[in-house]
Amino acid sequence: MIQIEQISKKYKTAENYSVSNLDLFIAENEIFGLLGPNGAGKTTLISLLCSLIKPTSGSFSIDGLTYQKNKNQLKQLIGIVPQEYALYPTLTAFENLSYFGSMYGLKGKSLETKINSALEHLGLLAFANKNIETFSGGMKRRINLIASILHEPKVLFLDEPTVGVDVQSKNVIIEFLQDLNKKGTTIIYTSHHLNEAESFCTKVAIIDHGKLIIEGKPHELISNYKEAHNLEDVFLSLTGKGLRDHA
Ligand SMILES: Nc1ncnc2c1ncn2[C@@H]1O[C@H](COP(=O)(O)OP(=O)(O)OP(=O)(O)O)[C@@H](O)[C@H]1O
């Protein structure tokens, strides 16, 4: 489904490559976790796959389509949930979602039904007509998620969808994503929550310094490491315990 070949990215102002000669295949219907320490290159890789930035070299295809040849088809095929909220604070939840739906050519009663059903599913129907500026972080994350799935993408990219949300919101988000996956959506997500990734992901890749370190099913990775009891143990033995601060 997603075939990545020798992809590299070096930002103009950066000294080093943020993603370096990375090869990866992500199969259809996977819940695929991109894991790695701060600055590993996770957001850069997701941004490349969503064509928000251009690779320095290398290539990738999604469902056999490339941005060079099939830009519009790919736009319909994928959904993107960015790390930052991409919402209009002074519009209501419903108005925001109507706007995002219309960007994908959706309108009228069918758009309204989709919005209301997703709002209900994510526990937000009662807040449909309230302005986004009154919403908590967890509520905004859920609206951000709805905005990205109204056009029913086959592949959904999420950059840390559960960061900064309480356990209740996190559980609702994870259940919603599992439900989407059961209906056939391939999910690629980044996270620092290794417990969450261990139970949620069908496969994970650990990246560090822009390179792929290891990939596999969480339980296989854990059983391959003698001393590891969980994914965090695997992660620490591969990426070390040192801090990754840099400016
Ligand atoms: N626009 C940019 N210009 C220059 N360097 C950048 C830019 N964006 C990211 N980088 C650098 O690229 C590297 C990878 O960053 P990236 O945000 O992809 O990592 P990450 O794994 O998503 O990190 P985090 O977990 O902290 O979000 C870092 O060294 C970062 O400083």
Is 6 within the bounds of a domain?
Answer: yes
Residue to mutate (ligand 1; options 13, 16, 18, 207; most atoms within 8 A of CB):
18
Protein residue closest via CA to atom 11 of ligand 1: 18
Is 133 within the bounds of a domain?
Answer: yes
- Domain housing 202: 2-239
Cβ(140)–Cβ(105) below 8 Å: no
Is 247 within the bounds of a domain?
Answer: no
What pTM was computed for the model? 0.94
- Express each pLDDT in 116-172 by its tens digit: 999 999 999 999 999 999 999 999 999 999 999 999 999 999 999 998 889 999 999
CA–CA distance, 153 with 186 (Å, rounded to integer): 9
Q: Is residue 246 scored above 70 in pLDDT?
A: no
Nearest CA-CA partner of 36 in 236, 179, 208:
208
Q: Is residue 244 scored above 80 in pLDDT?
A: no
Is 246 within the bounds of a domain?
Answer: no
Atom of ligand 1 at shortest range from CA of 36: 21
Is 88 within the bounds of a domain?
Answer: yes
Provide the sign of the torsion angle of the four alpha carbons 179, 168, 155, 77, taken in this order. Answer: positive
ipTM above 0.90, yes or no: yes
Is 244 within the bounds of a domain?
Answer: no
pLDDT grade for 225, boundaries at 50, 70 and 90: confident
Protein residue closest via CA to atom 24 of ligand 1: 38
Nearest CA-CA partner of 3 in 59, 79, 75:
59
- Express each pLDDT in 174-207 by its tens digit: 999 999 999 999 999 999 999 999 999 999 999 9
Residue 22 in tokens:
């990375």
Atom of ligand 1 at shortest range from CA of 43: 22
Is 82 within the bounds of a domain?
Answer: yes
